[in-house]
Amino acid sequence: MNAATLSGELVVSGLRKWYHRRDQAPVHVLEDCSFRIEPGKLTVVMGTSGCGKSTLAYILSGYIKPDEGQVQMDGQPVQGPGPDRIMVFQETALWPWMTVTENIVFGPLARKSVSRKEVTQKALELLRKFGLSEFKDKYPGQLSGGMKRRAELAQALINSPKVMVLDEPFRGLDVMTRELMQEYYIKLFEETRLTTVFITSELEEAIFLADRILIMGNAPSRIVSSLEVDLPRPRTFDVLASERYLEIKKEALEVLFSESMQQAD
Amino acid sequence: MLKEGAMKAVEASVNNSVVDPLKWHRRLPKLNWRGGFAVGAFLIAWHFLVLLKAPGFKEISSPVEVLQTFINQYLGNPNYWNSWVASFKRVIYGFVLAQVLGIPLGLLLGTRDTFHKLVYPVIEILRPIPPLAWVPISILFWPTTELSIIFITFIGAFFIIVINVHDAVRNIKKEHYWLALSLGASSGQVFRRIMVPSVIPSIAVGMTLGIAVTWNVVIAAEMIASDSGLGRLTWEGYVSHTVPVVIIGMISIGLAGYLSTIVVDYAEKKMMPWRTTR
């Protein structure tokens, strides 16, 4: 990999966020949340459900604004959503009224960055790569969960983003499909070294995928701990049986356990 | 129920080419015999209740009598068919106008906050007024009866479609909207490619409810205010005490409503290809 082309550094500093709802006390979600996403690395953000992981992802993607603090992407403050940071949502966000191909070519055509012919060509290549050639003219409702996820990856990648934000993308898939998708994503990542923020609540998934794991505390939350995952790449499921994997898992469990003890207090 | 069963079986197979013949094979013959049986049983029960002079049936004509009257006096009678045309015209004008004005209004109400604040209270006050309560004002306001009936029919479907579209716009999945923003879509593109398609299912619901209400309203309005149409035909049968005519009128209205539903269903399928190709 050519280190010079790597970009997609995210520096997050001092995020604070409240949700204000009418007739209700404001909900304090993030408090002094700061961290750095290294370019070309796969960073997993872990935390229990309801700790503000999705909120964080929405702020990184520019969909919502923090009350305080800021996100910088390659030195520039993030002002709103853009094709350099693309998010894959918890639930599928493919538009059900467009075919798979129409979904994929939407971005480049919307920005008028290339001709329809060129973009369709590129879409077909991606579909072939993701094993979806047969389904190019199907509607998302006709795809299985795993296929939808792959289609969404294609929909994102065609825009050559600098950062991918994946918010518990494999939640709701059955175990088999989930493992396949993890393997899929790890291959894709190792091939492209596309800066990735991967949000999950599953420790095994986190360790298997990550270069680094950031652990979020309870709401109002911040990053309470950072773990380097120095398992070798390219990774296969064999690493799950290695000594080092177990050590990392033990270390992570200790952090998670002490966090949940604090919540119990 | 049948429809659902068949749909589920179809969903199980992803292969599209198998879908259509399977659907037809399963749906048509079954529906035909059960449905035909039910209609036959209904007619026979009706006939015998009249023959036996069951309570309440003393003045009701038998199906045979109705059929005879229909064949002898109505089948070849242009006045009868003109009633169909008159009612259908009113339904179509009222219904189409309600869609053409209601859909954009619903979209505006759902997307423009200031407009919503300004206009929505008026709609909330007018909406609960039953269409028939508009009859007197409508007759006074519009120069011809025809226009006032069309207006009342329009009112029946209009608020339904406005509210349906309005709710749909407000409930668009935020992910659908956000994703388009991430991919760099302009606000015009978001409106055309995301907002509009995502409210189509609700437009369809509005159409289904709207066409039913439109028929209700047009028949009642014709009975009150008009000298033509299927509603008028039925009412005249009653006033002149010719019961077979009343029944011919009712069955005609039923068939007309059924026909309209078929057309609307077909239109809805065309509007949402992603719902039907499963």
Ordered by start, the domain boundaries in chain A are: 3-84+162-264, 93-160
What residue segments make up the domains of chain B, in order of their start? 1-59, 61-276
**Which ipTM did the prediction report?**
0.90
**Candidate from A107, A138, A140 with C-beta closest to B183:** A107
Give the pLDDT confidence score for residue B32 in this predicted structure: 74
Give the pLDDT confidence score for residue B253 in this predicted structure: 96
**Positions in chain A short of pLDDT 50:** 1-4
Is B12 a residue whose pLDDT tops 70?
A: no
Contacts of B179 in chain A (CB under 8 A): 87, 89, 93, 95
What is the radius of gyration, based on Cα positions, of chain B? 23
Handedness of CA B102, B107, B112, B113 (dihedral sign): positive
Is B10 a residue whose pLDDT tops 50?
A: no
Query: By C-alpha distance, which of B208, B184, B187 is closest to B196?
Result: B187
Is B166 a residue whose pLDDT tops 50?
A: yes
Give the pLDDT confidence score for residue B225 in this predicted structure: 86
For the stretch B223-277, pLDDT in tens is: 988 889 999 999 999 999 999 999 999 999 999 999 999 999 999 999 998 887 6
Is B174 a residue whose pLDDT tops 80?
A: yes
Residues 179..238 of B with a Cβ closer than 8 Å to A: which? 179-186, 189, 193-194, 197-198, 200
Give the pLDDT confidence score for residue B131 in this predicted structure: 93
Which has the higher per-residue pLDDT, A229 or B10? A229
Q: Which CATH number among 3.40.50.300, 1.10.3720.10, 3.40.50.720, 3.40.1440.10 corresponds to the domain B61-276? A: 1.10.3720.10
- What does the mean pLDDT of chain B come to? 88
CB neighbour class for A20 (10 Å; exposed up to 12, middle 13-18, buried from 19): exposed
Q: How many CB atoms lie within 10 A of CB B171?
A: 12
Which has the higher per-residue pLDDT, B5 or A11? A11
For the stretch A150-167, pLDDT in tens is: 999 999 999 999 999 999
Give the pLDDT confidence score for residue B20 in this predicted structure: 52
Instruction: Convert chain A into a string of H (helix), E (strand) and C (coil).
Output: CCHHHCCCCEEEEEEEEEECCCCCCCEEEEEEEEEEECCCCEEEEECCCCCCHHHHHHHHHCCCCCCEEEEEECCEECCCCECCEEEECCCCCCCCCCCHHHHHHHHHHHCCCCCHHHHHHHHHHHHHHCCCHHHCCCCHHHCCHHHHHHHHHHHHHCCCCCEEEEECCCCCCCHHHHHHHHHHHHHHHHHHCCEEEEEECCHHHHHHHCCEEEEECCCCECEEEEEECCCCCCCCHHHHHCHHHHHHHHHHHHHHHHHHHHHHC
Give the pLDDT confidence score for residue B2 in this predicted structure: 45
Query: By C-alpha distance, which of A198, A196, A165, A6 is closest to A86?
Result: A165
Q: How many CB atoms lie within 10 A of CB A206?
A: 23
Residue A222, sorted as left (phi over 0), alpha (psi -120 to 50) or beta, turns out to be: beta
Residues 120..139 of A with a Cβ closer than 8 Å to B: which? 138-139
Give the pLDDT confidence score for residue A21 in this predicted structure: 84
Quick check: B272 contacting A, CB < 8 Å?
Answer: yes
Average pLDDT over residues B138-154: 94
Cβ <8 Å between B277 and A63: no
Architecture of domain A3-84+162-264: 3-Layer(aba) Sandwich (3.40)
- What does the mean pLDDT of chain A come to? 90
Share of chain B above pLDDT 90, in %: 79
Is B14 a residue whose pLDDT tops 50?
A: no
Give the pLDDT confidence score for residue A2 in this predicted structure: 43
Judge contact between B247 and B61, C-beta under 8 A: yes
**Cα A164 from chain centroid (whole Å):** 6
Share of chain B above pLDDT 70, in %: 88
For the stretch B195-233, pLDDT in tens is: 999 999 999 999 999 999 999 999 999 998 888 999 999
Contacts of A112 in chain B (CB under 8 A): none
Contacts of B174 in chain A (CB under 8 A): 63
Give the pLDDT confidence score for residue A27 in this predicted structure: 87
